[in-house]
Amino acid sequence: MSLHLTQSREAPALAVTDDVLGVDLGIVNLATDSDGQTFSGVQIHVVRTRYHLRRQRLQKVNTQNAKRRLRKNADKECRFQREVNHGISKTLIAKAAVSCKALALEDLSGIRERTTVRHEQRYERHSWAFFQLRQYITYKAAWAGIPVHLVDPRNTSRTCSHCGHCAKANRKSQAEFLCQRCGVALNADVNAAINISRKQWAAVNRPMASALAG
Ligand SMILES: [Zn+2]
């Protein structure tokens, strides 16, 4: 899957300000940025479920024809996912470029600690599609000369982006954030993305190295 990422190209130097566009990657919303724009995963889940059911059906039929259709099915699913991820990453990079902002993502190694999602979602969060979106953002940013800061993911989702209060109770549900101190109510992913945009970065992604590491 990452073979086509191995091409190298010199990143042009782009003058970025100190401003950072934070991006929270997730399941319900595939991506949410600190400006409040969300890229919903609903459509993806509908389509992937359809592919999944078709796969189950075809696997029961042990014929050459079924096998061929299984392969075709898998190819189509890949292509669909790739297009979605290209679209989201393109939009985010264009946004950062236009506003001369750097990007910030959570450091990948921390994602496991952070999530308290159901089992099947956890599987999805670690699936290739999730990593592919990260990769696309990373390499497109490199090509555009936009730095990608990696931040410590700890407490991103439970800290109030308004007053800084950190508590588990702030996170009312998957979608809602309600600060127990200052009372601010926000979409939980937007709150997380804002926090990501403000965190001290632990590392700046080295463009090609990071694309290859995935
Ligand atoms: Zn607060």
How far, in Å, is the centroid of ligand 1 from the Cα of 163?
4
How far, in Å, is the centroid of ligand 1 from the Cα of 174?
18
Q: Quote the pLDDT of residue 200.
A: 76
How far, in Å, is the centroid of ligand 1 from the Cα of 133?
30
Q: Quote the pLDDT of residue 205.
A: 53
How far, in Å, is the centroid of ligand 1 from the Cα of 103?
24
How far, in Å, is the centroid of ligand 1 from the Cα of 44?
33
Average pLDDT score, the chain: 82
How far, in Å, is the centroid of ligand 1 from the Cα of 59?
51
How far, in Å, is the centroid of ligand 1 from the Cα of 88?
30
How far, in Å, is the centroid of ligand 1 from the Cα of 167?
10
> Greater confidence, 139 or 205?
139
pLDDT digits (tens, 9 = 90+) for 14-34: 666 779 999 999 878 899 999
Burial class (CB in 10 A: 0-12, 13-18, 19+), 68: exposed
How far, in Å, is the centroid of ligand 1 from the Cα of 185?
9
How far, in Å, is the centroid of ligand 1 from the Cα of 203?
27
How far, in Å, is the centroid of ligand 1 from the Cα of 34?
16
How far, in Å, is the centroid of ligand 1 from the Cα of 15?
33
How far, in Å, is the centroid of ligand 1 from the Cα of 159?
8
The CA dihedral of 6, 150, 144, 125, to the nearest 10 degrees, is 60
What is the DSSP track for 124-188?
HHTSHHHHHHHHHHHHHHHHHT--EEEE--TTTTTB-TTT--B-GGGB-SSSEEE-TTT--EEEH
pLDDT digits (tens, 9 = 90+) for 158-209: 999 999 999 999 998 989 999 999 999 999 999 999 999 998 765 555 444 4
145: left (phi over 0), alpha (psi -120 to 50) or beta: left
Residue 6 has pLDDT above 50, yes or no: no
